[in-house]
Amino acid sequence: MAEYDLPFPQYRCPTCNKELPLGEAHMTVTCGEHVEKRQVEYTVRPATDGDRTAIEAICDAALGETEVDVWGRTFDVLSSTNLVAESAGELVGLLSMTVDAGEVAVVLLSVYPDYQGKGVGSALLDTAGQWAAKRGLPLMRAAVTNDDLPLLYFLMRHGFTIYEVAVGEIADKLGSAVPGFSGIPVRDEIRLRSCV
């Protein structure tokens, strides 16, 4: 099986604060009283040309490139409509989207580890929903690999439902199933939709 190097730690341990690469991350079920409640100040806005370098950096950190293969196609984040979350003058989150087949397709949603669980991803997704509604687009769709349980959880908590599973699509594209989140073999693309 091929080695799968990830470009950067995608999570942070809430107990010891250690940065975690994808394969070392684990799921924990926690009661509401023990969820970290550290707040951060941030704003969400449409990206500008001046954000290009920061967008490239978050794409590099999340994927190692700005092109995203999803729904059997390749989308370039730099050519898409982008929303950014900013804190203290730094880009801390990105939602990249495009209009495809009359729906808003969320191509990439990425939040730096220090800002995960603080409402940044929710604010980006809500802003994308408002963007879609203003344009009369009734549906948003997103896709997640079968191993990415945190993103699947997040999307389903925000009203997305599974409409299709492209079984084996990722493994076929990569040539084999590679280890992903917590060592789960990455094989399938789970496709979800939500009404705006």
- Which residues, at least 6 apart from 19, have a Cβ–Cβ distance to it below 8 Å? 9, 11, 12, 13, 113
pLDDT for 103-127, tens place per residue? 999 999 999 998 998 999 999 999 9
Predicted confidence at residue 168, as pLDDT, reads 95
Give the helix ranges, DSSP H, for 35-183. Answer: 52-62, 120-134, 149-157, 169-174
Domain that holds residue 76: 11-195
Q: Is residue 4 part of a domain?
A: no
Q: Is residue 154 part of a domain?
A: yes
Q: Is residue 6 part of a domain?
A: no
Q: Is residue 5 part of a domain?
A: no
- Angle, CA 110 vertex, CA 118 and CA 46 arms, to 5°: 90
The CATH number assigned to the domain holding 54 equals 3.40.630.30
pLDDT for 76-99, tens place per residue? 999 999 999 999 999 999 999 999
Q: Above 70 in pLDDT, residue 4? A: no
Closest by Cα among 51, 171, 62 to 108: 62
In terms of pTM, does the model score above 0.75?
yes
Q: Is residue 156 part of a domain?
A: yes
For residues 66-83, average pLDDT: 96
Kindly report the average pLDDT of the chain as a whole number.
91
Closest by Cα among 42, 39, 34 to 123: 42
Does residue 109 contact residue 94 with C-beta atoms inside 8 Å? yes
Q: Above 50 in pLDDT, residue 32? A: yes
Number of domains in the chain: 1
Q: Is residue 1 part of a domain?
A: no
